[in-house]
Structures are given as C-alpha cells and as structure tokens.
Amino acid sequence: MDARVQDVIDAVTAEGERHDADEPDRLKRWRVLEPEAGRLVWFLVHLVKARDIVEIGTAHGVSTLWLAEAARTTGGQVRSVDLDLDAQAVALRHLTTAGLADQVRFVVGDGGALLAGVPDDSVDLLFLDAERTEYPGWWPHPVRVLRPGGVLIADNARSHPSEIAPLRRLIEQDSRLVTTTLDTGKGALVATRI
C-alpha cells in the first residue's frame, strides 16, 4: 500500500467518523468503509487481478481509494457510481490528493441502471455499498456482469443482516455463485462466480 494513499485514507476515514458522530440523519452521514473492510476489498482486487472494477456507492470515496490503489497495481480501472453528485465531487478531490484520479471513472446515477448496461461476464470485481434494500431489484445483473472467477462483495452483512438477507438468498439460489460471509468490518458478503 502506497504510504501517501494510506495517509489520505486515514485522514478521510477519521474526518468521516467525526462528521457522522454529530449527524443524526443516517442519509447525511458519510458512512465510510472501515479500515479492515477496506483492506479486504484491496486484497481481493489483488487476489483476482481485477482490472474491470465496479463500485456502487462512492459517497466521499474511502472505498474508492482502497479499490483504486489496488487497481493501479493490477493495471485496472474503477467505475464508481453514486446518486450524490456533491459527495462524488469531494471523492474526486480525495482521489486527486492521493494521486489516483486517473484510476477512476465517476458516474452520477443509479447503480442498478448502470449495471443493467454492463456487458455479460465483463466485471472482475463488483463492490456494493449503497442502499442494501435495493440490491435484489438489480438482480440478475450483479451475477450476469461478473466474469467466471470474478468477485462480488456487499458490505454490512453483519451490521444489517435482515437487509442483506434477500441478496444472500438470491446468491445462494444461483448455481453460478458460491458465497460466504466474513466478519471483517461490518461484515462482508462475498461471492465468486464459478
């Protein structure tokens, strides 16, 4: 991990945690990815040598920083989508400070709509960190776009198990996928296309 990028991740993570401590409205919180979970997605990008990476839920870009740092090593690119243009503008600043802006293409819009336009079998790693209750409505695109050997990760599997359960059921019922849940951070539902 590049030390300059790690410094930016640490600073933005700490800023997000301070911000959220004083913000009663959940939707206005930054809800940044925990360092352990960031390390997990960073590791998985390396493990599967992911080059085509899709992230749904940029917010202020902490997870994007983890993904983009790994993508620089694999020669990959992150497409990161969010409905919130203002948050994404802040994320772009953070990626620029980290020297990683070239690794990311930001898209403003709905993650499900973006996935619907992605070709079959083309994505190496898909990271879901948006509104969990929306994920089932995006089916079958999360599995359709994954290439064999590709990885899907959904955050908050332990912190919000009932919200993640419908996605877990879809994954478990799909013979193209195998899955497990890791305790890392707030819990990561991880699946790979076989």
Ligand X SMILES: C[S@@+](CC[C@H](N)C(=O)[O-])C[C@H]1O[C@@H](n2cnc3c(N)ncnc32)[C@H](O)[C@@H]1O
Per CB under 6 A, residues contacting ligand X are: 31-33, 56-57, 59-63, 81-84, 87, 110-112, 129-131, 134
Bond before 142 cis per omega within 30 degrees = no
Query: Quick one: 113 or 178, whose CB is closer to ligand X?
Result: 113
**Which residue number, 2 or 134, has a Cβ lying nearer to ligand X?**
134
Per-residue exposure over 41-75, b if at least 16 CB sit within 10 Å of its own CB, e if not? bbebbeebebebbbbbbbbbbbbbbbbbbbbbebe
Burial class (CB in 10 A: 0-12, 13-18, 19+), 164: buried
| Closer residue to ligand X in complex, CB, 79/168 | 79
Q: Rounded to 5 degrees, what are φ and ψ at 52? A: -100, 105
Select the residue whose beta carbon is closest to ligand X and give its number.
57
For the bound state, the minimum distance from the C-beta of residue 147 to ligand X, rounded and expressed in Å, comes to: 22
Q: Which is closer to ligand X, CB of 124 or CB of 129?
A: 129
Least CB distance from residue 175 to ligand X, whole Å?
A: 27
Least Cβ distance, residue 21 to ligand X (angstroms): 16
* 3-state DSSP helix/strand/coil % of the chain, to nearest 5: 50, 25, 30
Q: Minimum CB separation from ligand X for residue 112, in Å?
A: 6
Query: Two tokens at 30?
Result: 């930054």
What does the DSSP assignment read for 79-102?
EEEES-HHHHHHHHHHHHHTT-GG
The least CB distance from residue 89 to ligand X, in Å, is 12
When the beta carbons of 7 and 172 are compared against ligand X, the nearer one is 7
